[in-house]
Amino acid sequence: MSEAIEQVELLRLPLDETHRQSGASMIERDGWFMPAHYGDVAAEYEAVRGGAGAGLFDLSARGRIEVGGAEAVQFLNGLITNDVKALQPGAWMLAAFPNVQGRLLAHARVLRPGEATIFIFDTEPTNHATVFSALERFTLAGDFRVRDLTSETACLSVQGPRAGEIIGTTLGHDAARIERGQVTMASTANSTEQLTIMRATHTGEDGFDLICGANDAPALWHTLVNAGARPCGFDVLETLRIEAGVPRYGADVSETNVVLEAGLEDKAVSYTKGCYVGQEIIARIHWRGHVAKRIAGLSFTGAAGISPGAEVRAADGKKIGRVTSATISPALGQTIALAMLKYDYLQPGTEVIVDAGTGERAARVVELPFVRGNWHTSESVAEKIS
């Protein structure tokens, strides 16, 4: 009985029925039913990483929150690490929500689709409630409006070397030509409502995220599939994002980490905009020292059978960290992992030992990303670790 009640409480994506009709194997993650795979994980991986295709992902479980008002920029700049004032219309940026100790409450992407002072926050499912709560508490303090768009919208992502071609075919060449970090609006033949398009990667390959109305999502999904995008599930997305060296909140980083330990400070933190929650601690670490630990990459020889939580030790046996995510990389033919390691052991080439539970495994620290897709290089074929 308790299991049945738990399943009833799980949230369903706007495309839930579409996924099931397409043969998806559904799993529970972060309180949602979502597709794990569509029967052939290897083919899904090849569509994104193989150099001649593109995968289609349903990211609708992510949170989407609209913020507006004459005082939006002022309030937001006091809450997040990046400079909202510098965000131009038609652009998006990464940011973090720190607490007063400089610890990471949430990562978010901040979109400014048009000229109006209206922003859309896009978050991981695990961060949705945290971000909404952090923003909503300021609605009584001035002209600052917050609206949760998650249930009325969907988010689809096309990832892979052919992503631009598929977007151009379905949404027009202007949409396909936007630069990385840019946002635009477009409409489809099946809807009079505009959808928001951002050029972004979750995999290290070229990509576009599309935010549309929940009712428009099935038609848009089928249009993208007919244009050549292959439906892909969460299982392959995990492998791709680990290969791309992208930390995920709740797996690789959490509230226990200082913002700078996530390795995204170059893109998510402004050191010139002035005060915000936790700014003093973050700035002091940046200008006067370094973090105690940080996310890093580990590579193993062959398939090493490593699981998250595995202890990482130095050659002398000293405990220096733990594995946070691990996968077998098809592109590299070996196990790779993200790990939170102490600062003194972050140098690429450092030899370490990982307790795999069934025995010790030798590994070495490598520079991220593990696999450089065409987001990082003009070559469409993934480059192997040398």
Domain boundaries, given as residue ranges, for the chain: 1-291, 292-386
Q: According to the model, what pLDDT value does residue 304 have? A: 86
Q: What is the mean pLDDT of residues 4-16?
A: 76
The tens digit of pLDDT for each residue in 123-139 reads: 999 999 999 999 999 88
Q: According to the model, what pLDDT value does residue 203 have? A: 98
Q: Which CATH architecture has domain 292-386?
A: Beta Barrel (2.40)
Percent of the chain with pLDDT over 90: 89
Q: What is the mean pLDDT of residues 227-256?
A: 98
Instruction: Name the token pair of 80.
Output: 């997040």
* The pairing of beta strand 319-329 with beta strand 311-314: antiparallel
- Check whether 336 has a pLDDT greater than 80: yes
Q: According to the model, what pLDDT value does residue 188 have? A: 77
State how far the Cα of 380 lies from the Cα of 361, in Å rounded to an integer: 32
- Check whether 382 has a pLDDT greater than 60: no
State how far the Cα of 76 lies from the Cα of 180, in Å rounded to an integer: 23
State how far the Cα of 13 lies from the Cα of 376, in Å rounded to an integer: 31
Percent of the chain with pLDDT over 70: 95
Reduced to 3 states, what is the DSSP secondary structure of residue 346? coil
Q: According to the model, what pLDDT value does residue 181 have? A: 96
Output the CA–CA distances (angstroms, integers) from residue 27 to 82, 172, 243, 300, in the order listed.
34, 34, 22, 29
Q: According to the model, what pLDDT value does residue 7 have? A: 46
The tens digit of pLDDT for each residue in 299-320 reads: 999 888 999 999 999 999 999 9
Instruction: Name the token pair of 55.
Output: 């995968």
State how far the Cα of 91 lies from the Cα of 169, in Å rounded to an integer: 23
Q: According to the model, what pLDDT value does residue 357 have? A: 85
CB 109 within 8 A of CB 119: no
Q: Which helix (H) or strand (E) holds 35?
A: strand 32-37
Average pLDDT of the chain?
93
Q: At what angle do helices 163-171 and 217-226 cross, to 10 degrees?
A: 120
Among candidates 144, 148, 145, which has minimal Cα distance to 123? 148
Fold match, 1-291 / 292-386:
no
For residues 187, 63, 242, 166, the Cα torsion angle rounded to the nearest 10 degrees is: -10
CATH class of 1-291: alpha beta
